Amino acid sequence: MIRLIGYFFGIGTALALLVAAGVAIYISHLSKDLPDYEVLAKYEPPVTTRIHASDGALMAEYARERRLYLPIQAVPDRVKAAFLSAEDKNFYNHPGIDMTGLGRAIMVNLQNFGSGKRQVGASTITQQVAKNFLLSSDQTYERKIKEMILAFRIEQAYSKDRILELYLNEIFFGLGAYGVAGAALTYFDKAVNELTVAEAAYLAALPKGPSNYHPFKYADRAIERRNWVIDQMVDNGYVTHEEGAKAKAEPLGVTPRRTGTYLFAGEYFTEEVRRQISARYGENALYEGGLSVRTTLDPKMQLIARKAMQNGLMKFDTLRGYRGPVKSINVSGDWGVPLGDVKRLEDVPEWSLAVVLDSSEKGLSIGLQPTRQVSGELVKDRIEGTVSKEDMRFAMRHVVDGKTVKANSPADVLKPGDVIFVQKKEDTDGAYSLRQVPEVEGGLIAMDPHTGRVLAMVGGFSYAQSEFNRATQAMRQPGSSFKPIVYSAALDNGYTPASVIMDGPITIKSGNTTWTPKNYDGRTAGPATLRSGIERSRNLMTVRLANDMGMKLVVEYAERFGVYDHLAPYLPMALGSGETTVMRMVSAYSIMANGGKSIKPTLIDRIQDRYGKTVYRQDERGCENCNATEWQNQPEPELVDNSEQVLDPMTAYQITSMMVGVVERGTGATVAELGRHIAGKTGTTNDEKDTWFIGYTPNLVVGLYMGYDQPKGLGKGATGGGLAAPIFKDVMRVALDGTPNVDFKVPEGMKLIAINRKTGMRANPGDAGAFIEAFKPGTGPADSYWVIGMDADGSNASGGSLSPQANQAIQSGGGGLY
């Protein structure tokens, strides 16, 4: 019997050895094809790129996977406890595989065999890291064995904290969120350290199956799973029974964070930054690189610029009459549904969509359907209101078949079913004003002239209506706002503000082609100083000046100032007939404002990579002693400005002084109402297609244009001084409020001499026409009366060059008018 037992024991031992050898061979075979787990040491997951305003406000996030990488040291203990309780309570004690949990899973699977129920996996957090990072999600025993082998190896190579860090930053939580930091923001709009026990437990419940525990579709199921996690936290001693009961009594409280742009009114700026980053670093870096971008945007200035620009566009547009409703719908039944399908202007929240329910001589009865969010879902409310005849007075002139028709009653303009834009009147109950999206558009830039930092950008009335950025993308003729470039070239090359030029008829001939420019008002003033020419924006004087000094010089300065890359050397170009952008024009004026130094317009101050290393910095100034380790009575460090001097500082002051005259006495006189030291210049193109105003104080430059996207006349009498300058004034009124009224600094060495405004010669004592003018050393008023552009016999001179290309520029609208 003993011999028989020994016989069977030997056979069993041999069979066990054979099975063990077979298992070893099988595992060895699987191990040959295992991926290299050492790649975890270089783990760089796709991380969200975040764009911030200059004050740190979040502007936008860009990501394919909405993830923010969080070191394990920054994860609160209660959040760790929630995930350990939900996924792997023995994580810090097992070697990668929880044998107890594995045995329990095997027993459950044997009991459920053949029942059709899904098998239990019992994967530890380490195993999940192995699967998520290195393996597929195939439900096979072979994959499971590989997962176990890798789990053992990972545990030997990395610390528990490192493994937990990888897990918490990689897992998918649903709603496009990856990683615990991204999930906290997505579900609760909170940082991880702000999560409550209940919120942490809900996030820990999600990796099991995010779609199964959707907070709105399956709220009951989500709460049940969350409460189970809380119970596990109580059983494991992470929270007390009282804390657990309190957490279980809380609602889910999910408030999804919206995607896209976050900073109100910053859509055009944000999109421009996005394009620049994509062009500089590529799409992958933008959507996966985890860049932290600090922009130059000043949110307060942006709001000021947006409001002023929108008000200016609306004021102009409403004077042209009402063009009719957005569309018409059927209001015989439930009008809320078709009204809700009409596209709103999301970036103009002051306006609401409404449908006309009734119209009469007194006004309109309207129905509105504003939307609001409740627990992350859009809830549509329907309310009713009124629009009085007084609050839609501009619409009494409405456009029918391209003609403006006068109406006697609101019922003649709008009928039931018409969908319109309205704005609620302040301090009223249910009273609204009729609104209309302007046809006319425009672009605006506000810039720091010393650094080139763009403080505000308005690319049009509404980004939701049109993403085309008119501040950076629209190529428009600057008109007379280009003239300061011409005058700067002259002042930098021997002319003075007191030089006298003939303001009289001139004809430029070239072969069989002739060009006879005219002043805006069609009149001439005879001989006048350069100052008078720019203050009154005289075209004939500018053409003569450009002709006298040569267009090659004008071209050189236009390109030096960055207004154009390549400007054709034809005389019409001196009147602003070449096309450029608002951004370029404001940059050029910044050079005059900062004393002649070149600047690079920038929307970005700094870019950091995912590790916090600065990879781009806008400020290129050097500072050798800024990093001194201790104070040893050394001089204070100074920032060295290596910017190129593209314009003589004295010339910059002279042209600035002349443009101060534009504001105080010339075409921009409306701006003088601010009582500030401001220099600026108006601009209007042929046929009043575009109107401009660009102006500046010593520390702020603002420039803008107004015009139709498909260029057409703005109307007889439309000028930069009448349309663009008031918008500029509205910006400056608010932007400069509470700041000192700083005057422009006179460069050392300049001579201030009283001259006669008409002759440009030194003024006599008691001369009523005397004016203090700035002259460079070695220059001064003329000793004898001399008029540029007049022949010796006193007749007007003709001449210059005009090519077929220049003639084409004239025909297409070349010529700054006013």
C-alpha span between 284 and 261 (Å, rounded): 19
- For the record, the structure tokens of 668 come out as 């921009």
Sequence-ordered list of residues with C-beta below 8 angstroms from that of 510, at least 6 positions apart, any chain: 800, 801, 802, 803, 806
Q: What's the Rg (C-alpha) of the chain? A: 37
Q: What kind and span of H or E run contains 771?
A: strand 770-775
- Of the candidates 327, 316, 320, 325, the one whose C-alpha atom is nearest the C-alpha of residue 402 is 320
Alpha helices in 395-514 (DSSP H): 483-491
Q: Return the amino acid letter for 753.
A: I
What is d(CA 91, CA 451) in angstroms, rounded to the nearest whole number? 54
Residue 754 burial (C-beta neighbours within 10 Å; 0-12, 13-18, 19+): middle
**Whole-angstrom distance, CA of residue 187 vs CA of residue 250:** 15
**Nearest alpha carbon to residue 609 among 158, 290, 375, 185:** 290
Beta partners for residue 640, in sequence order? 622
Distance, CA of 332 to CA of 477 (rounded, Å): 50
Beta strands in 629-764 (DSSP E): 679-684, 690-697, 700-707, 751-756
480 is catalytic: yes
* Strand partners for 379: 372
Residues 6+ apart with CB under 8 A from 695: 589, 659, 663, 668, 671, 678, 679, 680, 681, 701, 702, 703, 728, 732
Interstrand relation of 500-503 and 787-788 (parallel, antiparallel or unpaired):
parallel
**Cα distance from N-terminal residue to C-terminal residue, the chain:** 122
* Rounded CA separation 780/762 (Å): 8
Interatomic CA distance for residues 100 and 98, integer angstroms: 5
The CA distance from 99 to 90, in Å, is: 10
The dihedral over CA atoms of 602, 606, 608, 613, expressed in degrees to the nearest 10, equals 130
| Contact yes or no for 790/797 (Cβ under 8 A) | yes
From the candidates 85, 359, 433, 480, give the one annotated as an active-site residue: 480
Q: Which long-range contacts (CB under 8 A, 24 or more apart) does 314-320 make?
A: 314/435, 314/436, 314/438, 316/438, 316/440, 316/706, 316/714, 316/723, 317/436, 317/438, 317/439, 317/440, 318/394, 318/436, 319/394, 320/399, 320/404, 320/439, 320/715
Residues 6 or more apart whose Cβ sits within 8 Å of residue 70: 165, 168, 169, 179, 180, 181, 192
Q: What is the dihedral of CA 37, 38, 40, 42, to 10 degrees?
A: -150
User: Which residue in 811, 394, 283, 212 sits closest to 570, CA to CA?
Assistant: 811
Token pair of 671 as six digits? 């701006």
What single letter denotes the amino acid at residue 381? D
Helices and strands (H and E) in the chain: how many: 22, 29
Query: Strand order in 454-458's β-sheet?
Result: 454-458, 441-447, 700-707, 690-697, 679-684
| 250 vs 213: CA distance, rounded Å | 16
- Give CA 211 to chain center in angstroms: 34
Out of 61, 85, 87, 657, pick the active-site residue. 87
Give me the active site residues, please: 87, 480
